[in-house]
Structure 1
Amino acid sequence: MQDSTFDVRPIAVSDAAAYLDLCRQLDRETSFMLYEPDERTTTVDEQREQIQSILRTENQMYFVAESGHRLVGHVQAYGGSHRRNRNTVHLVVGVLQAYSRKGIGAALLRIMEEWARNVGIHRLELTVMTHNLAAVNLYRKAGFEIEGTMRHTLFVDGRYVDEYIMGKVI
């Protein structure tokens, strides 16, 4: 999928170092991601192995957004490992702040949903901090619904925060 300023594509094993750099930058520039700055200890070799494993697993996938030969966003899908939950995937989405509000998040969600439909996924779900209004609005526009609130699930910047569980049946 292409746009005038970015391209969205499946991750490649050769993206391991760039992908790790993207994740580390996201960890540093926003408190909306799970990891704190410098908490991520994954090596490039470990990242490469993780990407290989994801690409071999039928109900798991990563897509990346690239702008000017730089990875600027991603969406991950982790499917259940049992027969009863293998048609549900949990999503993780991140876009660098300098590239937000350019349609990248929406494009990542669209391509992930297309992939999910093609491999027989029935449900997409994710969690999002309740005060991350831009992300909540993005997910709502993509057809996700708030299904509940999880209280005090994360400790961020010295306080407990709530998360929404959001889902979309496709």
Structure 2
Amino acid sequence: MIIRKSKFAVKGLRYNIRTAIHGDSSYLSEVRLQIDGETENMDRERGEAFLDKSGLEDIIKLDSEHSKALFLVVEVKDRIVGFSRCVGNDLKRTKHRVEFGVCILKNYWGYGMGKNLLKETIFWADSIGIKKIELNVLETNESAIELYKSFGFEIEGVLKYDKLLSDGKYYNTIVMGRINQHVL
């Protein structure tokens, strides 16, 4: 799905949030690879499940054509520094819900990008009648958990010993969901 471009200014940094387009694929591939190496909050380590330009072009095309998919990018001075993706399906039993994920380059944490990507996604989901947004977050990512709670997400469960991190310890994944009460 395609949405309008939104402009933001936070702590002196100006950035745009817009729908991903065909020409973004090589930048997105690089950003995704860099983000995977900057934090253990992601499911992947750097280079795992690598998506090249062609693979991302396919995803962008599919998402732009599917009514229950939203692929957003964050741009600072025409450079992509983060993205989010929200995807659903048309199966009768699960077409009421979508799954959300977000990635921001570490140098751009603290500028409200994740918050604004989430706001845009919630507005989109609510406007098309999505009843539930789901997401997974690592238990140690306390700031993200608090952000999601502030937007009405609730903890629905815990996947115990779900991630093995570089310290050799296992960590839990928190499963969260937001129900749109207006469309129930």
Contact 1:106 1:138 in 2 (8 A): yes
Aligned residue for 2:44?
35
- Runs of 4 or more above 2 Å deviation: none
Contact 1:145 1:166 in 2 (8 A): yes
Looking at structure 2, the residues matched to 41 and 129 of structure 1 have their Cα atoms a distance apart, in angstroms, of 21
Q: CA deviation at 1:34?
A: 1.0
Looking at structure 2, the residues matched to 119 and 111 of structure 1 have their Cα atoms a distance apart, in angstroms, of 13
- Selected match of 1:11 from 9, 16, 20: 20
Q: What is the aligned length?
A: 170
Aligned residue for 1:20?
29
Partner of 1:162, secondary structure, is: strand
Contact 1:106 1:142 in 2 (8 A): no
1:46 and 2:55 are equivalent in the alignment: yes
Structure 1 gap ranges (5+): none
1:163 and 2:173 are equivalent in the alignment: yes
- Deviations 1:65-103 (Å, cap 9, x if unpaired)? 111111112111111341111120011111111111111
- Indicate the percent of aligned positions where both proteins have the same amino acid: 27
TM-score by length of 1: 0.94
- Deviations 1:12-57 (Å, cap 9, x if unpaired)? 1111111111111110101111110121332211210111011111
Looking at structure 1, the residues matched to 119 and 66 of structure 2 have their Cα atoms a distance apart, in angstroms, of 20
Partner of 1:82, secondary structure, is: coil
Looking at structure 2, the residues matched to 67 and 143 of structure 1 have their Cα atoms a distance apart, in angstroms, of 28
Aligned residue for 2:150?
141
Partner of 2:95, secondary structure, is: coil
Looking at structure 2, the residues matched to 96 and 168 of structure 1 have their Cα atoms a distance apart, in angstroms, of 25
With 42-51 and 124-133 compared, the bigger mean Cα shift is at 42-51
Looking at structure 1, the residues matched to 16 and 140 of structure 2 have their Cα atoms a distance apart, in angstroms, of 29
Aligned residue for 1:152?
161
Structure 2 gap ranges (5+): 1-5
Looking at structure 1, the residues matched to 50 and 17 of structure 2 have their Cα atoms a distance apart, in angstroms, of 26
TM-score by length of 2: 0.88
Q: Which amino acid aligns with 2:8?
A: D
Q: Which amino acid aligns with 1:160?
A: Y
RMSD: 1.2
